[in-house]
Amino acid sequence: MPTGKVALLSVPPLTIGAIRMTLGSLLLRLYLRREASAVSWSPPLVGSFLFLGFVGYLVGVGCSYYGLRQTTVTNASLLNAASPVSLALLSVVFLKEPLPARGWAGIGLSMLGVGVIVTHGSWQTISQSQYNPGDLLLLGTQVSWGIYTIYGRHLMKRISPLAATTYTYMAGAGWLLLASGLWEWGTWQFTNTTLASWIAIAYQTILGTFAHFWFYDAVAVIGPSRAGIFLNLVPVMAIAIAYIFLHEALTVPHFVGGAIVISGILVATRR
């Protein structure tokens, strides 16, 4: 997330996603050549890749950059901490996974913590509906990413995690190239892009690409609910980097809301 903030300094949101997904697709396609398993192509399988590319990368990645542009890395990281709970809830809805009472209690706690973060602990924000649109966008991307993860698990019953990630990346790149071409490329000046933004995009392209593959691999092995727990490491690292390098302030609502979200996750995922 901190590198995303740097990339946004001189590159539009959808364009960042288009560059990331296009270059990431090439990296994954080269890596896929090492895998011997074949893919049995069919119209439904192509449709699955197009659907995952849309919800996971056009909506999930593209809108997350739009959200990040309008909020802080700290807010984005704390809101992202609720991802494991949203995954657990979507698993109940779509996969019919049982959720015990403590799971529902954890979801309630996490939603309360998210509310504290989004409203900055202010009742006035609630009464006057003065929400940060970036925070609301980031909450929406959690739903799209949850659908991507759960549907991806269904897809990986037929193909490997690497193949699923590769072809979904290619579909996502196509969606993002189309969207950025329609809405952003006329306003983006390639020559005005800073070196810092290019370095940030390169970092996200290389490490982010394989992180998505490794996450899909984990989902295939241990399931979306348990894999989502490890996303808790992301906010801690992102907030520390934002505080040190971007000089973002940490407020009382951040600490309170973050503590409530993490408490909810611990309650929901306790076995």
What pLDDT shows up at residue 217? 66
Q: How far is CA 183 from CA 58, 173, 178, 190, in A?
A: 13, 15, 9, 15
What pLDDT shows up at residue 45? 92
Positions of the chain with pLDDT under 70: 1, 34-38, 78, 81-82, 84-85, 99, 114, 118-131, 212-213, 215-248, 254, 265, 268-271
Instruction: Quote the DSSP letter at residue 231.
Output: G
User: What's the whole-model pTM score?
Assistant: 0.75
What pLDDT shows up at residue 131? 65
Measure the CA–CA gap between 23 and 29, rounded to whole angstroms. Answer: 10
What pLDDT shows up at residue 130? 60
Residue 184: enclosing H or E segment and its boundaries?
Answer: none
Residue 71: enclosing H or E segment and its boundaries?
Answer: none
Phi, psi (deg, nearest 5) at residue 193: -75, 130
Domain ranges of the chain: 2-269
What pLDDT shows up at residue 90? 78
